Amino acid sequence: MDARRTLGRTGEELAAELFAKLGFAILDRNWRCRSGELDLVVGRGDLLVFCEVKTRTSDYWGGPAEAVGLQKQARLRRLAAAWMSERRPGDVRVRFDVISVLMRREPEITHLPDAF
């Protein structure tokens, strides 16, 4: 696996651990369809969260969460609709979160609930 992919997987693992600590069940990781990929889908009660995880080694070009612009948000909404169509979770509330991971000596994890 290349370094970028390893970095991304590390960030996703840290994000999954954070959600588990918050009492969420991990429903899907790296769910794919033709249109793209959802990093994490988690649930707790009637709340379903689609989470984009962005991991960087530096904030030189801006923080990791800044990479989730309007086009990426629209794509994530389409992917979430495809996931829901396939999985049919029933009557749930939906939220879109972003988790930013900045890998320093100790990872800096920032959770942005209801980011968009």
Identify the pLDDT of residue 106. Answer: 95
- Per residue in 27-81, pLDDT (tens digit) is 999 999 999 999 999 999 999 999 999 999 999 989 999 999 999 999 999 999 9
**Burial tier of 99 (Cβ tally within 10 Å: 0-12, 13-18, 19+):** buried
34: left (phi over 0), alpha (psi -120 to 50) or beta: alpha
Model pTM score:
0.94
pLDDT value at 96 more than 70: yes
pLDDT-derived band at 1, boundaries 50, 70, 90: low
Q: Scan for tokens 């939220």, then name that residue.
A: 95
Which residue segments constitute the domains of the chain, with CATH numbers given?
A: 3-112 (3.40.1350.10)
